[in-house]
Chains A and B, each alone.
Chain A
Amino acid sequence: MKKYESIVLKIGLFILPMVIVMLFIPFGRTFDQQAKPVVRLSALKSEHDMEIVVENVTDLYAASVDLFYDTEKIVVEKLETGDLFVNCEKPWMEVVNSIDADQGIANFAVSLLGEVDAIKGTGVLVKVYYRILDDEMPRVKFLDYIMEGFSYDQEFGIRPKLVNDEIEYIPYRSKVQINN
């Protein structure tokens, strides 16, 4: 009887809390991660083209991408709206599309127009056409969308912002995928 009580006590005091910690916390993180859309940078098609892909978005009304790059290593030549908006079958507008080759800043913004349903799904937000000035691929880094101010010291910094139907920022996870 005493041996049985001892086992129960051990289970109650040590094993159960550990099981709870091990099971629920990782699961929670996974759920949270799964709930956020993913912004992925891919350079799949060409060495000199880059796509910024938004995955699993549920409520996208507008989006912007700010690029900060080292002008001695990269030349951004063109920004082009991707199929996420082009094929959304809703009224939309490319509002900002500018490249400042001197400063190494490129801005892109696109938005739906009027009271329409937001965009759901996955697609390319913007295509970035660029040239590398030396042989080395620059280091790419996603910048926090909440982070204020520009950052000029990046070799290639990308700051996407997603805005939902309520005109609020959409949190997301970012991923860089380089596939040569």
Chain B
Amino acid sequence: MKKISVLLLLFMLTTVLFSDPAAAEEGSINLIPSTDTVKKNMIFEVDIQADNMDNLYGLQLHLNFDSSQLEIIDFRPDFFGWERGTQYYEFHRWDNDRGTFDMVFTCCGSDVYFSGSGKLGTIEFRVIGTDTQLKIIENQRDKSDRACLGVDNQSQPSKYKVYQATIHNDNSPPDINNIEVIDNSTIRIEFNEPLENASALDVNNYIIEPDLGIRSIQLDESQRIVTLVTDPQVGNRLYELNVLNIQDLMGNRPFDVLRKYFRGSMRLWLEAVDPIYKRNTGTVKLKAGPVEEMTQLIFYIKYDGNYLTYTGVRCDNENFSPQVTVYPEASYMYFLCRLDPGPPVSRYDDWVVCEFDFMPQNVGSTKLEFMTGSKSPEAYGKVNGISERIVVETSDAIMDILQSYTLTGYVKLVVQKNFSNVSAYRDGDESKEIDVDTKGKLQLENLIPGIYTIRLFNPGYLPMDYYIDVQCDTEVELHMIPGDLNDDWLIDICDIAKICKKFSTKKGSDGWESVMDYNCDEWIDVVDISIVARNYGRRSNIEE
């Protein structure tokens, strides 16, 4: 029986080998490696997969490989899960010196054949070389176009296309392609190949000098990009990144520490000094983080002209000379600020670069922002005498503009006349005179909430400070105290004597003093004296 089977097999093979095979239109043999990447001494498998077979009865397959790079360890026949000797016969061999693998199989009996897709077997290879690309292909070198021939149950031969297996042989340790400073606390390291997860995410494998702490690590999907979140960097400082013990997916490790240099990013941010009230100058500070040897700073600030009007810039640093140019746009305003410090600037704390003043025009929230694109902030710093650009991280500011208020005061005299001599001053400051109209009305506009002092003077009256709490639009009556006739800010017997001396004096007569005619009846009489007497003992509340 066995002899019959072997004869039948040989007959089949002879038939296949010497017949004129027609190319199978759909069927193919796929060599499918168990891994894309291998390294020296690694063992891997290649499945031989028959796809889209149509009544396959027998097949011969001849493969070859680079014998200097690979060697076959084993072959495990599978043949669609059939039972060997009952449903099929097969023969295989390999030659690791020549780099060849041959395999032939045939079904047993007339009613066994295979249609569809299924695995023929698995070859086990060991990597013995270090070439970067390993190929397992059909052996056209020796077998020409008969490297893969099949026969169907009708003894019709078919040629099948063989899809080769290509495996990357990775024996190189990972290296850093590029390092990029993203912002003041983020560094992106691009490796030349995917990294093994655990070593890539181990914080102990990264050391940055001068000491810069690493807060977290992320590895992207490609496993080639490592993002380090660091402590805030010192702008323009030259840092050395040391990467050690990192390994690629094949376990290759660098022979030495990977070392790269980068310059720290500078942080710039805008900070509105709250609170800000409409029509009251508001200040926005431009602040910066630590920086070394900064030589130039150029940036554009964009703002809404409906809310803000730029009024000026201040800078405490004598070496800075901020140059600001304002530009209008259709829907917003922006200005260019350029700082060219004389000697390079080094600061090791957060610091105020300069302060911008704005006049808020409307109530509401508005944003001040650094412009981007071609108008992104530019900072330059020196390292080893060479000026280079510093990466700048920015944050914008929101200004909340609050309502300001109006204080309206009505000066009250004994008789509501003759306000022409009333003098009013804000905060007791004689340089801040307030207009008093002919009806004794005065007004302070655009006030921020707070207590305001209005100082009033009027001949014959006590000079007084009036303290007014303004938390909304406010109207107050400012009652002046009559009786101080000798301007000593005290109403006493001298004032009484002075007015008594003019007792019964009529307007137009000798000695007439209109200031004593408090009730404006053109007589200095007992009414006026009583007005003074009523305030006897009172004094000004102005502190000298």
For B502, the chain A residues whose CB sits under 8 A away are: 114
Whether A66 is near chain B, meaning CB under 8 Å from some CB there, is: yes
Whether A56 is near chain B, meaning CB under 8 Å from some CB there, is: no
Count contacts on B: residues with CB < 8 A to the other chain: 22
For B500, the chain A residues whose CB sits under 8 A away are: 61-62, 93, 95, 111-114
A163 to B485, CA, bound (A): 14
Whether A129 is near chain B, meaning CB under 8 Å from some CB there, is: no
Partner of A167, one of B501, B530, B537: B501
Q: How far is the CB of B544 from chain A (nearest CB, A)?
A: 11
Contact across chains for B493 and A111 when beta carbons are under 8 A apart? yes
Partner of B493, one of A93, A109, A148: A109
For A111, the chain B residues whose CB sits under 8 A away are: 493, 496-497, 500
Contact across chains for A114 and B503 when beta carbons are under 8 A apart? yes
A107 to B494, CA, bound (A): 14
Are A107 and B537 also in contact (CB < 8 A) when A113-B503, A113-B504, A148-B490 are? Answer: yes
Interface of B is mostly: helix
Whether A126 is near chain B, meaning CB under 8 Å from some CB there, is: no
A93 to B486, CA, bound (A): 20
Count contacts on A: residues with CB < 8 A to the other chain: 23
Partner of A95, one of B494, B529, B539: B529
The residues in A between 22 and 77 inclusive whose CB is less than 8 angstroms from any CB of B are 61-64, 66
The residues in A between 111 and 158 inclusive whose CB is less than 8 angstroms from any CB of B are 111-115, 148
A64 to B504, CA, bound (A): 22
Whether B88 is near chain A, meaning CB under 8 Å from some CB there, is: no
Contact across chains for B486 and A167 when beta carbons are under 8 A apart? yes
Q: How far is the CB of B1 from chain A (nearest CB, A)?
A: 139
Partner of A169, one of B494, B498, B532: B494
Contact across chains for A62 and B497 when beta carbons are under 8 A apart? yes
Are A64 and B492 also in contact (CB < 8 A) when A107-B537, A109-B536 are? Answer: yes
Partner of B501, one of A61, A109, A169: A61
For A167, the chain B residues whose CB sits under 8 A away are: 486, 494, 497-498, 501
Q: How far is the CB of A92 from chain B (nearest CB, A)?
A: 9
Q: How far is the CB of A101 from chain B (nearest CB, A)?
A: 16
Contact indicator per residue, chain A 89-106, by CB within 8 Å of chain B (1) or not (0):
001010110100000000
Whether B511 is near chain A, meaning CB under 8 Å from some CB there, is: yes
Contact across chains for B504 and A95 when beta carbons are under 8 A apart? no
A52 to B493, CA, bound (A): 17
Q: How far is the CB of A1 from chain B (nearest CB, A)?
A: 67
What are 7 inter-chain pairs, A to B, with CB distance below 8 A?
A62-B496, A96-B496, A111-B493, A113-B500, A114-B500, A114-B503, A148-B490
